[in-house]
Amino acid sequence: MSRAFRVTVKETVRRVIHAEDHVRTQLEMLEVLPCDQMMELLSKELVSLGFERDGTALSRTDGNARVVIRLEDGTVVVESASREDLEIEGKRSVRVFEESGKSEEQVRDLLSKQIQADVNEETQEKQSELQTELTDQLESQLADLRLELDQACNRATAAALKQKAAQLGQIKEMTEDSQSGSLTIVVEL
């Protein structure tokens, strides 16, 4: 008659998972005035939106996302990163018959390896979930950011047009429609 015994292994594993994502785009502006003047006008608009200037770069942090705008070439980079501390508990148990010839230590090793595999799988799943969540969040922020940046560019262009018109002659009339974004300037040369 063979005797059976049950071996149970329980392990708690701590892991840190990271997710990051970024997108890059280019701001497009009409060169109404020389490049450095256009940069200054845009910079002014961006600072009013909460960006901080550091040399020719401006940056702002929105939640997980950090927006960096390089004025010299109009590049916009939005980076987002997130991390999560995981505590995963794994438990495995098996009934072993004495006649199988396996010692308790061997069985424990085997179960421990299985738990490691389970933990790795779960970590992978959590990692994917975190990445998807981060990307979804970043994607939803982009629509608002695009609108904000477009408006800043439009305002900077309008300011540049006013300056240019003033250089050309005397401004007689100026009509601005904030809804359609149209600007009409009548200049007497």
Partner 1 sequence: MQAVNRFEFDLLSILQSVLGRVPVEQVLPKWKQPQAKPRGLHQQTVRLIEQMLAKGIVGRIARDDGWCRRRFLRDGEPVDGSLWQRTSPDQLGLTFSPQSIDLLLWLTSSSGSEGIPAWKPNPFVSKQDVTDGDRLIQYWIAKAAAETSLLTKWYRHEPFISNELISIALPDRFAEVDSTPALDFERWILNETSWLLEVLQNDFERWLVRAWNVKNRLIDADRVLAMSRIEDGVLQHYLRAADACMRPDLCRFVLMAARHVLHESLSVRDWLQSVNLNHLKAADRMEFYRAAATLPRAVNQMAQWHRNSATVHFLDDDYQASQLLKSIWESMDGDRLNQQAERMLAELEF
- Chain positions contacting partner 1, by CB under 8 A: 21-25, 78, 80, 128, 131-132, 135, 138-139, 142-143, 145-146
Binning the chain into helix, strand and coil, the percentages to the nearest 5 are 45, 40, 15
Shortest separation between residue 141's beta carbon and partner 1, angstroms? 10
* Residue with smaller CB distance to partner 1, 37 or 135: 135
Shortest separation between residue 148's beta carbon and partner 1, angstroms? 11
* Residue with smaller CB distance to partner 1, 131 or 154: 131
Give which of 34, 20, 11 is closest to 160, Cα–Cα: 34
DSSP label of 1: -
Give the C-alpha separation, 7 to 160, whole Å: 78
Shortest separation between residue 83's beta carbon and partner 1, angstroms? 17
The residue whose two tokens read 């997130």 is: 82
Give which of 64, 78, 66 is closest to 26, Cα–Cα: 78
Query: Which amino acid is it at 54?
Result: D
* Residue with smaller CB distance to partner 1, 16 or 143: 143
Shortest separation between residue 149's beta carbon and partner 1, angstroms? 9
* Residue with smaller CB distance to partner 1, 12 or 128: 128
* Residue with smaller CB distance to partner 1, 80 or 90: 80
* Residue with smaller CB distance to partner 1, 114 or 141: 141
Shortest separation between residue 74's beta carbon and partner 1, angstroms? 13
Total residues belonging to the chain: 189
Shortest separation between residue 134's beta carbon and partner 1, angstroms? 9
Q: Which residues of 157-187 are buried (b: 16+ CB within 10 A; e: fewer)?
A: bbbbbbeebeeeeeeeeeeeeeeeeebebee
Instruction: Confirm if 45 and 17 have CB atoms less than 8 A apart.
Output: no
